[in-house]
A and B are shown apart, each in its own frame.
Chain A
């Protein structure tokens, strides 16, 4: 039986490591930090099905930082690969060639490129078939592995490799971020949550809670990316924290479609505090301050929380 009692402080997080050091991830990678916490809860009886992305570099033969198994698939088909693995495990157990104790948890690990854009259709298929798996999307808001190009997860006004800010286009990315949480929620899976590396207690509790459900369990994690966001590696956790405190990244969960916000800051900071030290938003401050863009981003955030407030009666 999984442990259902929620933990209260970071002291309650297991000290066992299921992710070894020596990975090729960048210094200060927010995604790697979260993956380390996820694997503490998931344990070593796990198979990770990975779609092409930064995390593919973690396990390049003959090197692996994991205790668990690893299957690498193309960008579009990680959930389809997970279906194959799940079916194979079920058949082996049914035939008695694998004891039920030897069963593995099937975890799909992708970046935002595979989750928001390229692999969305195969995820939709897996959700529709009610496949029993975990999905961890490490969202650094662009195609980080190939040079930080624009993706469906890139927020409004972010500078990326393919949306450079200059004389002609002063905004950067002109479209706003896709709402993947709501796309997933429309399939009505048992559990969806958003997580942040700055809130490990919340993250561990969400994984513990998800364990009791059979079916798709999906997580979107905001992963600060020092080379892509042009931030100092030491500030990764700080920006993850600021994203939550400004209301830009809402920490929430949806159980069978019922949304609840898990961490709501007492007083919201202005979004400018989150934007001002990131290189990808530097064009909003220099050479001229683009006030109308700050206003637009702040309005988007305010509108979101006003809707939440009226729905969940949370004090803002």
Chain B
């Protein structure tokens, strides 16, 4: 990372911290029973759940900390938390 004079951090440099390595449990988006309510996306504290198309959501594992809010709040129980093996 290049640092500028005046110690100004560019917008979004926190992306260098790949917080996905913190994860103990990994959310699996089955994309089968999804009704497209969008609760997983709205309640993700990191903002790393994205919509690919209608009724199809996915998560960015580079940053997902594995809190499991998406799986807990999912209205059709389509997200499963599994133990992460590294």
Contact = CB atoms under 8 A, between A and B. Distances in A.
Nearest to A197: B43
B83 interface: no
Interface in B12-39: 12-19, 22-23, 38-39
Contacts of A59: 9
A67 B45 contact: no
Residues of B in contact with A, size category: 35 or more
B69 A236 contact: yes
Nearest to A66: B11
A112 B22 CA distance: 27
A13 B14 CA distance: 24
A62 interface: yes
A235 interface: yes
Contacts of B1: 62
Nearest to A30: B45
Nearest to B36: A11
Contacts of B81: 234
Contacts of A237: 43, 69, 72-73
Contacts of A24: 17, 19
Contact of A27 (B12, B15, B65, B71): B65
Interface stretch (A15-23, A148-156, A282-290): A15-23
- Give the dominant DSSP class at B's interface: loop
Nearest to A198: B43
A299 interface: no
B46 A23 contact: yes
Contacts of A58: 14
B67 A234 contact: yes
A36 B43 CA distance: 10
Interface in A221-254: 226, 232-238
Contact of A32 (B9, B39, B45, B66): B45
A217 to B, nearest CB: 23
B14 A21 contact: yes
Interface string B49-65: 00000000000101101
Interface string A47-91: 000000000001101111111000000000000000000000000
B72 A238 contact: yes
B59 to A, nearest CB: 11
B82 interface: no
A226 B7 CA distance: 33
Contacts of B22: 27
Most-contacted residue by chain A among B39, B44, B45 (CB, 10 A): B45
A233 B67 contact: yes
A65 B10 CA distance: 9
Nearest to A34: B45
Give the one of A27, A28, A67 with max B CB within 10 A.
A27
A33 interface: yes
A28 B45 contact: yes
Interface of B: 1, 3, 7, 9-19, 22-23, 38-39, 42-48, 60, 62-63, 65-69, 71-73, 81
13 contacts: A20-B47, A22-B17, A24-B17, A27-B65, A28-B45, A28-B68, A32-B46, A33-B69, A36-B45, A234-B69, A234-B71, A237-B73, A238-B72
Top 5 A-B residue pairs of the complex, sorted by shortest distance between their CB atoms: A234-B68, A28-B67, A21-B63, A27-B65, A22-B14
Given A23-B17, A23-B19, 6 more contacts: A10-B42, A21-B60, A59-B9, A65-B12, A233-B66, A234-B72
